[in-house]
Amino acid sequence: MDKGCLYVVAMPIGNRDDITERAKQILASVDVIAAEDTRHSRPLLQFLGIDTPLLALHEHNEQKRMGSLIEQLTAGGTIALISDAGTPLISDPGFPLVRACQQADIRVVPIPGPSALVCALSAAGLPTDRFLFEGFPARTGAARREQFTRLKDAEMTLIFYESSHRISDCLTDMAQVFGEERPAVVARELTKLHETILSYPLGQLVEVLSKDPHQQKGEFVVLVAGAVRNEDAIEPETQRILSLLLEELPTKQAAVLASRITGAKKNRLYQVALELAEKE
């Protein structure tokens, strides 16, 4: 018997009209829809006129349910995986099931559509050539600041999901670690009635949200501009080598040798060597 197929179907993140034609066709034709929360998905499916049977698949039962789902698929069944909003597996359940399907040689077909992170990035006005999606930041202050500290020097746009409970504290920690001047964007309630995209340096964003409680309500994507590389910066280890060489050699020779050892630019090292000599 031919094996079945798992469809990973993206759903709207607010505006119901964002469902794709292909998603509707697949949802109407599969044997069963595995939904993160059946109570949440039922009204939307009813609105779309889809009466395919639903089963719940969330992080608490995913491991337990997996065996029977894989059996069903192996026997030729078709299943659509959906989450409450956006693309399944993106800060949502489904990864263990997709991996189990791949391992069991069951076809997995993505049905693309909305995802809050791409939606926010497309309108934020921050560089899109490279970005890092971090999902939800840690929930507590110390762990969150530690996480941001690890990302401080990353040179690509950083993208986070955040809830209304923590948005203010999260932005305050970002301003503290990334600096108040770092450009950032808060994308709130995307595709919904109160959609707002605020673009300010982090320090100002903290102020704007604290002055207007409405801006703290709803669902958020926070985007932070990547660090700007300082072309003139010298690695601490390079500086250490240069300083050691300067103790034994004339400035120019020390700079040439330090450049050969570290790969740093000779002219820049000569400049630093002169500055070091001046300080002494």
Task: Summarize as ranges the residues that interact with ligand SAM (CB under 6 A).
Answer: 13-14, 83, 85-87, 90-92, 115-117, 161-163, 187-192, 219-221
Minimum CB separation from ligand SAM for residue 54, in Å?
A: 18
Minimum CB separation from ligand SAM for residue 15, in Å?
A: 8
Minimum CB separation from ligand SAM for residue 189, in Å?
A: 5
CB-closest chain residue to ligand SAM: 86
Q: How many CA atoms lie within 13 A of 171 on its CB side?
A: 30
**DSSP per residue over 76-132, as a string?**
T-EEEEE-SSBSTTSSSS-HHHHHHHHHTT-EEEEE----HHHHHHHHH-S--SSEE
Hey, is 159 helix, strand or coil?
strand
Minimum CB separation from ligand SAM for residue 82, in Å?
A: 10
For ligand SAM, give the closer residue by CB, 144 or 188. 188
Block residue for tokens 């700007």: 228
For ligand SAM, give the closer residue by CB, 36 or 151. 36
d(CA 132, CA 150): 13
Minimum CB separation from ligand SAM for residue 9, in Å?
A: 12
Block residue for tokens 């939800």: 136
For ligand SAM, give the closer residue by CB, 86 or 183. 86
Buried b vs exposed e over 43-62: b needs ≥16 C-beta within 10 Å?
ebbeeeebeeebeebbeeeb
For ligand SAM, give the closer residue by CB, 77 or 137. 137
For ligand SAM, give the closer residue by CB, 98 or 276. 98
